[in-house]
């Protein structure tokens, strides 16, 4: 299986808005020679970054565009698009990052050519890392392996744990967490929540054996 990666640039701006939204022009904004009176507003046409509906509108536009080249969303996962026929392929979509999977033999280049014609894009070539997950292909064995080793090291460095001694078990069976006592020093709750979030991403991605320890 060949795996390549495509990144659509300024993806949200490919989508038009269904609802009427107005904004005040920013100071110093070039209005192409048009003078605005005080309190005049601009009507938005495109899904700007920061609007709550921009992600939804972009997915709608992407779905419509992919349907023109034979891709349909999977019933299992709406961010996975499938195409059969003479040029079968599978797309894994995360906002504007797309993994393209196709059987070996050159078919993936034709699929990419179709995808690259849809929107302004950056072609990243063969996929090796995506969303903190490393993709390792072994053509001789016919295997694809996923790991988050580099991401885990970055998390340890971020929270000052690079020198901690590794252990085989995800949690100590004898540890019993207790509520803090009034007056005792507490850890930074924001930092704690961020660390738990990083661990949850590891468990969700490639280490489900850590899920119980993270959620406990």
Q: pLDDT, tens digit, for every residue of 136-155?
A: 988 888 889 999 999 999 99
Is the residue at 136 inside a domain? yes
The total number of structural domains that make up the chain = 2
Q: Is residue 105 part of a domain?
A: yes
Band of residue 200 on the pLDDT scale cut at 50, 70, 90: very high
Q: What is the mean pLDDT of the chain?
A: 87
Q: Give the Å distances, CA to CA, from 95 to 19, 131, 140, 156.
A: 21, 11, 33, 27
Co-location of 196 and 156 in the same domain: yes
Torsion over CA: 191, 194, 200, 206 (sign): negative
Residue 29 domain-assigned (yes or no): no
Mean pLDDT of 156-162: 93
Mean pLDDT (whole number) for 6-10: 89
Question: Does residue 119 sit in the same domain as residue 197?
Answer: no
| Residue 76 and residue 161 in one domain | no
Sign of CA dihedral 90, 67, 5, 58: negative
Report which of residues 172 and 10 the model is more confident about: 10
Mean pLDDT of the region 5-20: 90
| Full domain range(s) for residue 152 | 148-168+187-215
H helices present in 37-106, as ranges: 54-67
**From its phi and psi, is residue 160 left (phi > 0), alpha (psi between -120 and 50) or beta?**
left
Residue pair 99/114 in contact (Cβ under 8 Å)? The answer is no
Average pLDDT on 156-181 reads 84
Share of the chain above pLDDT 90, in %: 45
In terms of domains, do 58 and 140 share one?
Answer: yes
CATH of the domain at 55: 3.30.70
155 and 140 belong to one structural domain? no
Same domain, 122 and 204: no
Residues 132 and 59 in one domain: yes
Question: Is the confidence at residue 121, as pLDDT, over 90?
Answer: no
Residues 117 and 65 placed together within one structural domain of the fold: yes
Are both 136 and 157 inside the same structural domain? Answer: no
Sign of the C-alpha dihedral computed for residues 180, 183, 184 and 190 taken in this order: positive
pLDDT at residue 38, rounded to an integer: 61
Assess if residue 68 is contained within a domain: yes
Contacts of 128 (CB under 8 A, 6+ apart): 134, 135
21/47 Cα distance (integer angstroms): 10
pLDDT at residue 179 is higher than 80: no
Largest CA distance in the chain: 72
Angle at Cα 14 formed by Cα 13 and Cα 19, nearest 5°? 75
Is residue 212 scored above 80 in pLDDT?
yes
Residue 32: pLDDT over 80: no
Assigned domain for 174 exists: no
**Same domain (yes/no): 15, 116:** yes
Has residue 32 been placed in a domain?
no
59 and 122 together in one domain: yes
Residue 97 and residue 112 in one domain: yes
Within a domain: 115: yes
Has residue 37 got a pLDDT over 70? no
């Amino acid at each position: 299986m060949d795996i390549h990666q495509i990144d659509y640039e300024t993806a949200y701006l490919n989508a038009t808005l269904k609802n009427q939204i107005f904004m005040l022009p920013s100071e110093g904004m070039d209005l192409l020679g048009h003078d605005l009176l005080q309190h005049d507003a601009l009507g938005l046409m495109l899904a700007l970054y920061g609007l709550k509906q921009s992600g939804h509108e972009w997915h709608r536009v992407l779905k419509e565009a992919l349907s023109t080249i034979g891709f349909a969303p999977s019933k299992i996962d709406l961010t996975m698009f499938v195409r059969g026929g003479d040029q079968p392929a599978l797309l894994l979509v995360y906002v504007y990052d797309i993994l393209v999977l196709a059987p070996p033999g050159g078919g993936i280049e034709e699929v990419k050519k179709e995808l690259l014609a849809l929107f302004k894009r950056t072609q990243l070539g063969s996929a090796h890392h995506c969303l903190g997950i490393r993709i390792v292909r072994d053509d001789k064995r016919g295997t694809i392996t996923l790991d988050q080793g580099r991401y885990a090291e970055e998390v340890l460095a971020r929270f000052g744990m690079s020198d901690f001694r590794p252990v085989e078990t995800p949690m100590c069976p004898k540890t019993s967490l207790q509520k803090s006592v009034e007056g005792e020093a507490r850890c930074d709750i924001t930092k704690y929540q961020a660390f738990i979030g990083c661990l949850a991403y590891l468990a969700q991605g490639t280490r489900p054996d850590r899920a119980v320890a993270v959620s406990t």
